[in-house]
Amino acid sequence: MEFLNAFVALSNYVLIPGIAYGSQLALGALGVTLIYGILRFSNFAHGDTMAFGAMVTILVTWWMQAQGISFGVLPTALLALPFGILGTMVLLVVTDRVVYRFYRQQKAKPVILVIVSLGVMFIMNGIVRFIIGPDDQNFADGARFIISARDFKAWSGLDEGLALRTSQGITVITAVVVVVALFWFLNKTRTGKSMRAYSDNEDLALLSGINPERVVTYTWLIIAALTTVAGVLYGLDKSFKPFTYFQLLLPIFAAAIVGGLGSPLGAIAGGFVIAFSEVTITYAWKKVLGYLMPEGLEPDGLVQLLSTDYKFAVSFVILLIVLLFKPTGLFKGKSV
């Protein structure tokens, strides 16, 4: 019984939130890794692209809510998601045409593009705050829980409750669908293969008749979908605040590098490594240990290794360790 209670508490506070957060990071890191592999630079505007996609989705969600359109028990934001993706696609393709294409034609070195993306980041950041404001926005609706703590307690008879929020369930399912679709696209379709070819050897792709501009455009379209989905899922699960998305850049890059930059599988693994490290280190283990430890040895303190305010330090330290000891990442990406 004690053990079961400990396990349920662990699931409730660590496993489920970790999996949901990990899926969100994985989607973000997948985007970063794709840009790094195909467009050859680290896109610092990634977090703010996520914010933009989430913002468009939120605006459409509010409009739908005002029109009385709803998605039943599921959040209306899922209905608005395609519009958010479309909006982000327009933004990214326009940004590419107006900004990045010039540097591509100049054959600019990747480090120049990194700095360019930093500029793009500030612009996008400004656009989002200008339109929706810097404050917290709430847009989640529909049923709040798939399993609520009270129902679980009544059903299982345990002292500990297990809650599974709708947003968490949706996050995991959506992430799986998106990842499967992306892998299928990259490995099986003609366009996906041409993107891998371009990533592998740009000149030879050109000599094979692959149009580089088209590859770049497709990449941005996929990035738009990935960022918007990641942004909306994060917003549904936590809350939408532009600055939080900017801060997400660190765990997302940490995830991409831990997994091995340029490796899509690595990005997913890295997302979960970072998420679980963050959650386990900032979680107060008092309750779980209280169930597991023998009588009299239960801890008095919170047994929280790090306050949640310092959660970014976790990504940072992991990033440092990986760069020092295994610079290619877990999945043998391009050596960093």
Q: Which helix (H) or strand (E) holds 251?
A: helix 242-259
Minimum CB distance to another protein smaller for 203 or for 300? 203
The contacts found for 316-321 with CB under 8 angstroms, 24 or more apart, are 316/250, 316/254, 318/254, 318/258, 318/273, 318/274, 318/277, 319/250, 319/253, 319/254, 319/257, 319/258
Q: Which helix (H) or strand (E) holds 214?
A: helix 212-237
- Token match 């660190």: residue? 250
Please state, in angstroms and rounded to a whole number, the distance separating the CA atoms of residues 273 and 260: 12
Please state, in angstroms and rounded to a whole number, the distance separating the CA atoms of residues 255 and 318: 9
Minimum CB distance to another protein smaller for 107 or for 300? 107
Q: Does 335 bind another protein (CB under 8 A)?
A: yes
The interface with another protein within residues 210-229 (CB under 8 A) comprises: 210-213
Minimum CB distance to another protein smaller for 201 or for 308? 201
Minimum CB distance to another protein smaller for 66 or for 190? 190
Rounded (5°) CA angle 136-137-140: 135
For residue 327 the two structure tokens come to 């610079």
The interface with another protein within residues 116-175 (CB under 8 A) comprises: none
For residue 134, give the DSSP letter: S
The interface with another protein within residues 176-195 (CB under 8 A) comprises: 190, 193-194
Minimum distance from CB of 202 to another protein (Å)?
Answer: 3
Q: Does 197 bind another protein (CB under 8 A)?
A: yes
CA dist 171 → 143, 231, 277 (Å): 15, 11, 19
Q: Does 100 bind another protein (CB under 8 A)?
A: no
From candidates 205, 224, 229, 249, binder to another protein by CB under 8 A: 205
From candidates 37, 47, 75, 260, binder to another protein by CB under 8 A: 37
Minimum CB distance to another protein smaller for 155 or for 184? 184
Q: Does 232 bind another protein (CB under 8 A)?
A: no
Please state, in angstroms and rounded to a whole number, the distance separating the CA atoms of residues 265 and 184: 13
> DSSP secondary structure string, 265-327?
HHHHHHHHHHHHHHHHHHS-THHHHHHHSPTT---SS---SS-GGGHHHHHHHHHHHHHHH-T
- Token match 């790094």: residue? 36
Minimum CB distance to another protein smaller for 193 or for 238? 193
Minimum CB distance to another protein smaller for 117 or for 167? 117
Q: Does 321 bind another protein (CB under 8 A)?
A: no
CA dist 148 → 11, 168, 263, 288 (Å): 13, 12, 37, 20
Q: Does 49 bind another protein (CB under 8 A)?
A: no
Binding residues with another protein: total (CB under 8 A): 45
Minimum CB distance to another protein smaller for 292 or for 336? 336
Q: Return the range that interacts with another protein (CB under 8 A); candidates 126-134, 225-233, 253-261, 299-307.
A: 253-261
The interface with another protein within residues 254-313 (CB under 8 A) comprises: 257, 261-262
Q: Return the range that interacts with another protein (CB under 8 A); candidates 98-106, 224-232, 287-295, 310-318.
A: 98-106
Minimum distance from CB of 208 to another protein (Å)?
Answer: 5
Minimum CB distance to another protein smaller for 308 or for 335? 335
Minimum distance from CB of 254 to another protein (Å)?
Answer: 10
264: left (phi over 0), alpha (psi -120 to 50) or beta: alpha
From candidates 5, 18, 22, 36, binder to another protein by CB under 8 A: 36
3-state secondary structure of 136: coil
Chain residues that interact with another protein, rule: CB under 8 A: 36-37, 40-42, 103-114, 190, 193-194, 196-197, 199-213, 253, 257, 261-262, 323, 334-336
